[in-house]
Amino acid sequence: MKKKIIIITTGGTIAMKQNSPFGVVPNDEFTAGLLSFEQLKDLATIDVHEYANIPSPYMTPEKMLELAKFVDSEIERYDGAVITHGTDTLEETAYFLNLNLKTEKPVVFTAAMRSSSELGLDGPRNIVGAVRAAACEESKGKGVLVVMDDAINSARDVVKTDSGRTDSFFTPLYGLLGTIDPDKITYYRKALFHEKIQTDTIEPNIDLIKCVSGMDSRFLDTAIRQNTRAIVLEAFGRGNIPPAIIPAVRRAIAAGILVVVVSRTYTGRVLPEYGYEGGGLFLQKLGVILGSDLKGPKMRLRLMLLFGKYKEPQIVRDYLEKNT
């Protein structure tokens, strides 16, 4: 029997067209176009729901939470869901849903790097791939998936690696979960992180600050003044920061703000390795949490969910120390 799949559209380039002289902008033909898309008809019984039609830089954590609740309620009547999204923040929304969704049914994000006015447009092929992945038995229980350019990635680790190429979405270091060929879908590995943070509220007041050489403490001090609940510091290498911001890190900790260090490198974990002032070991002794291999934007969302669920910094700290 054919599987029942819901396609939930949220906007992005996949739903945009060139409209001279205004550039590439949203248009309202995409959702209707999906309903008459012949290549989908044999793959599954499809329903299409236009949830939003926004460029993905307009996406917010609050909207991600609403989308997660919507997916959990809708998917009860389906075997799987495909969510179309802009590529710019896709990895954030997909990761947020990966943490927050209750369902174990396949939920697959897809998008397009090229609008429907461009030669070699990738949207239709990506949608077909995503529907096939959502309808595939083996996709169950693998967490939220991202399908682009015939590749299946895990939402936790996928990165938009290039601003223009159609093979932009990739999982650095760990690689793809699987591939989509014309004859079949092949999974090569499992994503072993199955973290779930189920909550109906988030704490939006979490900041992400990137370390650069010679920086001063202006951004940290602003965050402290705004009573942020936590600061994610994208530090150098193994988790080391410039000495000029150490006093502000101390002030943040004294004010009860959680400071979580991740690395600004492309891949790899942070470690309590370097003992010099500003090094990861020094920071850990100061009370900073070392956040493993998760990238800054994803750690920020994770903290929003953790504070939404547990409220108290000490409980969030204990959780992170057990689950990094």
* Span from 69-77, 82-90, 220-228, 307-315 in contact with ligand ASP (CB under 6 A): 82-90
Among 97, 113, 248, 252, binds ligand ASP (CB under 6 A): 113
CB of 43 to ligand ASP, least distance (A): 23
Establish if 26 lies at the interface with ligand ASP (CB under 6 A).
no
| Cβ contact 134:128 at 8 Å | no
Among 9, 10, 87, 98, binds ligand ASP (CB under 6 A): 87
* Span from 76-84, 86-94, 95-103, 226-234 in contact with ligand ASP (CB under 6 A): 86-94
Establish if 88 lies at the interface with ligand ASP (CB under 6 A).
yes
| Cβ contact 134:81 at 8 Å | yes
Nearer to ligand ASP, 113 or 147 (CB): 113
Output DSSP code: residue 4. Answer: E
Among 10, 46, 55, 133, binds ligand ASP (CB under 6 A): 55
Nearer to ligand ASP, 164 or 182 (CB): 164
Nearer to ligand ASP, 3 or 114 (CB): 114
The CB density around residue 124, as the number of other CB atoms within 10 Å, is 16
Among 3, 5, 12, 148, binds ligand ASP (CB under 6 A): 12
Establish if 111 lies at the interface with ligand ASP (CB under 6 A).
yes
Among 10, 13, 154, 292, binds ligand ASP (CB under 6 A): 13
What is residue 24's three-state secondary structure? strand
* Span from 81-89, 134-142, 150-158, 220-228 in contact with ligand ASP (CB under 6 A): 81-89
Among 9, 56, 110, 240, binds ligand ASP (CB under 6 A): 56
Is it true that the peptide bond before 313 is cis, omega within 30 degrees of 0?
no
Dihedral over Cα of 305, 306, 311, 313: its sign: negative
* Gyration radius (Cα) of the chain, Å: 21
Catalytic member of 13, 87, 171, 199: 13
Establish if 86 lies at the interface with ligand ASP (CB under 6 A).
yes
Spell out the residues 6+ positions from residue 51 whose beta carbon is closer than 8 angstroms to its own.
Answer: 8, 9, 10, 67, 70
**How many of the chain's residues bind ligand ASP (CB under 6 A)?**
9
CA–CA dist 14, 7 (Å, integer) = 13
| Cβ contact 145:120 at 8 Å | no
Active site residue 13: yes
Nearer to ligand ASP, 72 or 149 (CB): 149
Name the residue whose CB lies closest to ligand ASP: 86
DSSP string of 228-244? -SEEEEEEBTTTB--GG
In residues, how long is the chain?
Answer: 324
| Cβ contact 52:85 at 8 Å | no
Residue 238: half-sphere exposure toward Cβ, Cα within 13 Å: 13
CA–CA dist 227, 184 (Å, integer) = 52
* Span from 64-72, 80-88, 148-156, 291-299 in contact with ligand ASP (CB under 6 A): 80-88
- Residue 63 identity: K
Nearer to ligand ASP, 126 or 228 (CB): 126
CB of 32 to ligand ASP, least distance (A): 19
CA–CA dist 7, 46 (Å, integer) = 7
CB of 92 to ligand ASP, least distance (A): 11
CA–CA dist 157, 18 (Å, integer) = 31
Interface residue list for ligand ASP (CB under 6 A): 12-13, 55-56, 86-88, 111, 113
Q: Return the active site residues.
A: 13
